Amino acid sequence: MHPQVAHAGIVYWRRSLWNGMRCVPVLMTLDQGWLRARDRRGVEVFAVPAGQVGGRLTRLGTLLLDVGGRRYALVGRGSDVSPRPSADQERGCADFWARHTPPTGDGPGVLDQVFNGAAAFHTRSWRDALVRAGAPLR
């Protein structure tokens, strides 16, 4: 496990494949070897050592995480009818990056940025951060 890996962002938990209103924002943080997710009300969805997180990134950019026997389908942005992130989630993300150095490197590709709001880049950056932290992702 590599506790120096730090990452944070708001991703969308796709709780239903067909109902966009059930694609809800979660604030995910990876810090000191722990992956945590909190919903819009601040309720912890999960908190687990990164080395205990399994899963994979699909070809369509969905990050499928296996945490404690449960699968979470995470995408980089919600649908048009999905709830917006709460002010607390946005503040929590900003506070996290105020205390950590943001990653450097390549940004989203032009097509991903224009047509997908950089959603694939967001989930790919999460997969990469989790792998660096010791998560056995495929």
Mean pLDDT score across all residues of the chain = 86
pLDDT for residue 134 is more than 90? yes
pLDDT for residue 117 is more than 90? no
Mean pLDDT of 35-61: 95
Distances (CA, A) of 82 to 19, 65, 88, 92, 117: 9, 20, 17, 20, 15
Q: Could you tell me if 48 and 103 are in contact, meaning their C-beta atoms sit under 8 angstroms apart?
A: no
More confident residue, 121 or 8: 8
Where do the structural domains in the chain lie, given as residue ranges?
7-87+95-132
Of the CA atoms within 13 Å of residue 22, those in its CB half-sphere come to 8
What does the pLDDT look like over 55-114, one tens digit per residue?
A: 999 988 899 999 999 999 999 888 889 999 999 999 999 999 999 987 665 554 444 343
Nearest to 47 by CA among 65, 73, 61, 22: 65
> How does residue 48 score in pLDDT terms, banded at 50, 70 and 90?
very high
The model carries a pTM of 0.86
CATH classification (class only), 7-87+95-132: mainly beta
Q: Could you tell me if 61 and 76 are in contact, meaning their C-beta atoms sit under 8 angstroms apart?
A: yes
Query: For position 123, what pLDDT does the model report?
Result: 87
How far is 96 from 120, CA to CA, in rounded Å? 22
More confident residue, 16 or 109: 16
Nearest to 82 by CA among 43, 26, 24: 24
Query: For position 116, what pLDDT does the model report?
Result: 46
